[in-house]
């Protein structure tokens, strides 16, 4: 049995502005024991899918199963087996300390006292927040607060845990500690499943066994990061910084250019061009110079997950 099965799920929202198709015919299987990533840009439908899987939202059409149970009709069977943590979430009571909050949650969840205590200290150790256990939650920094939220999510020892952008807006160090914790948590246990959403490429790359790329409500690829990269193995990307900003409409007409992305920067622009013909690099450089652009930086790079995304969707992630 798979940890998760999604079969032909649609989710449509009716708003005053019109109809939003947040999920369009999503099909997905996630195996037990996988650390699975849902990767997609803002508004792709990641949170909507997580809300359906955590039984907080019904699909408009289709079926979703968690550990064999139907999310639409068997939510009471599913809920004790799962947990969820979102990035930037404000859970807990500000006037209580971190330890008191975690204890309170453990009692809500019905975890025996001794076990709860042991887990709180274990997670505080592993996530490096022992020093704040007696600090009031209202005085925590964003990173400290998120460490507590993560601990809260894992406290119930869930069979499946959903992490919706768990490192959103955190500094590099805290994000790394959280990723390390998630990875070791799943490695040290049998048959636990983690489903995580992110729009950070490197997070998916470092952490996930397999990744589903989701864009505009559709899953457009599911594979290991390695295999996703192989799909574009004959290709490379060229990163170029040009100043000032010049016309770029001609780039697609250069032989060997497959897709490109342009970000405006102060006094100029940064382009990421996916191509499969080294001989065309000269034509590209000439093209910029002819239009009055000065090339300040040029680097040829191996394909990244971001390139896979760009190739599949024609757009960037962030």
Footprint of Mg ion (CB under 5 A): 46-47
Residue 12 or 254 with smaller CB distance to ligand ATP: 12
The verdict on 43 binding ligand ATP (CB under 6 A) reads yes
Please provide residue 43's backbone torsions phi and psi, each rounded to the nearest 5 degrees. 80, 10
Asked if residue 186 lies in contact with residue 192, where contact means CB atoms within 8 angstroms, the answer is yes
The verdict on 20 binding ligand ATP (CB under 6 A) reads yes
Residue 56 or 187 with smaller CB distance to Mg ion: 56
Residue 15 or 249 with smaller CB distance to ligand ATP: 15
Q: Which of 37, 45, 287, 293 binds ligand ATP (CB under 6 A)?
A: 45
| Number of residues this chain uses to bind ligand ATP (CB under 6 A) | 13
Residue 87 or 158 with smaller CB distance to Mg ion: 87
The pair of three-digit structure tokens given for residue 154, joined into one six-digit string: 């894992």
How many of the other CB atoms lie within 10 Å of CB of 223?
Answer: 15
The verdict on 233 binding ligand ATP (CB under 6 A) reads no
Q: Which does 145 bind (CB under 5 to 8 A by kind): Mg ion, ligand ATP, none?
A: none
The verdict on 26 binding ligand ATP (CB under 6 A) reads no
The pair of three-digit structure tokens given for residue 190, joined into one six-digit string: 């049998």
User: What is the nearest approach in angstroms of Mg ion to the Cβ of residue 47?
Assistant: 3
Secondary structure of residue 170 in the 3-state scheme: coil
Q: Which of 9, 36, 48, 111 binds ligand ATP (CB under 6 A)?
A: 48
The verdict on 19 binding ligand ATP (CB under 6 A) reads no
Report the C-alpha gap between 51 and 22 in whole angstroms: 12
Residue 46 or 229 with smaller CB distance to ligand ATP: 46
The verdict on 199 binding ligand ATP (CB under 6 A) reads yes
User: What is the nearest approach in angstroms of ligand ATP to the Cβ of residue 165?
Assistant: 6
Q: At what angle do helices 98-108 and 113-126 cross, to 10 degrees?
A: 130
Counts for the chain of helices (H) and strands (E), in that order: 10, 14
Residue 174 or 317 with smaller CB distance to ligand ATP: 317
Report the C-alpha gap between 227 and 205 in whole angstroms: 12
Nearest to 61 by CA among 20, 6, 19: 6
Name every residue whose Cβ is closer than 8 Å to that of residue 282 and which is 6 or more positions away in sequence: none
Report the C-alpha gap between 209 and 225 in whole angstroms: 8
How many of the other CB atoms lie within 10 Å of CB of 40?
Answer: 25
**3-class SS letters over 266-288:** CCEEEEEEEECCHHHHHHHHHHH
Q: Which does 292 bind (CB under 5 to 8 A by kind): Mg ion, ligand ATP, none?
A: none
Instruction: Report CA-CA distances (Å) from 91 to 11, 106, 108, 141, 158.
Output: 27, 14, 13, 13, 18
The verdict on 56 binding ligand ATP (CB under 6 A) reads no
Please provide residue 172's backbone torsions phi and psi, each rounded to the nearest 5 degrees. -55, -45
Asked if residue 234 lies in contact with residue 276, where contact means CB atoms within 8 angstroms, the answer is yes
Q: Which of 40, 92, 158, 303 binds ligand ATP (CB under 6 A)?
A: 40
Q: Which of 10, 25, 33, 47 binds ligand ATP (CB under 6 A)?
A: 47
User: What is the nearest approach in angstroms of ligand ATP to the Cβ of residue 316?
Assistant: 14
The verdict on 46 binding ligand ATP (CB under 6 A) reads yes
Residue 199 or 210 with smaller CB distance to ligand ATP: 199
What residue ranges bind ligand ATP (CB under 6 A)? 13, 15, 20, 22, 40, 42-48, 199
């Amino acid at each position: 049995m798979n940890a998760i099965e999604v079969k032909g799920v649609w989710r449509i929202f009716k708003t005053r502005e019109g109809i939003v198709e947040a999920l369009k015919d999503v099909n997905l299987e996630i195996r037990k024991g996988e650390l699975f990533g849902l990767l997609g840009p803002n508004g792709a439908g990641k949170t909507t899918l997580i809300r359906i899987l955590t039984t907080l939202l019904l699909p408009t059409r289709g079926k979703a199963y968690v550990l064999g149970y139907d999310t639409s009709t068997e939510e009471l069977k599913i809920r004790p087996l799962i947990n969820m943590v979102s990035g930037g979430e404000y859970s807990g009571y500000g006037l209580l300390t971190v330890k008191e909050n975690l204890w309170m949650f453990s009692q809500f969840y019905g975890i025996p006292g001794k076990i709860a205590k042991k887990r709180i200290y274990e997670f505080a150790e592993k996530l490096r927040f022992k020093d704040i256990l007696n600090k009031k939650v209202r005085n925590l920094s964003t990173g400290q607060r998120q460490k507590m939220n993560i601990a809260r999510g894992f406290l119930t020892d869930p069979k499946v845990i959903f992490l919706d952008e768990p490192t959103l807006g955190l500094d590099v160090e805290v994000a790394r500690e959280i990723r390390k914790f998630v990875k070791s948590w799943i490695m040290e246990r049998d048959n636990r499943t983690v489903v995580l959403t992110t729009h950070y490429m490197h997070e998916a790359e470092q952490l996930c066994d397999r990744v589903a790329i989701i864009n505009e409500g559709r899953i457009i690829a599911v594979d290991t990061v390695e295999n996703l990269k192989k799909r574009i193995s004959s290709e490379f990307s060229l990163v170029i910084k040009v100043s000032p900003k010049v016309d770029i409409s001609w780039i697609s007409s250069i032989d060997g250019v497959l897709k490109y992305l342009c970000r405006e920067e102060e006094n100029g622009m940064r382009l990421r061009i996916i191509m499969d013909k080294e001989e065309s690099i000269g034509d590209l450089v000439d093209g910029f110079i002819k239009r009055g652009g000065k090339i300040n930086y040029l680097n040829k790079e191996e394909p990244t997950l971001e390139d896979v995304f760009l190739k599949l969707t024609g757009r960037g992630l962030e």
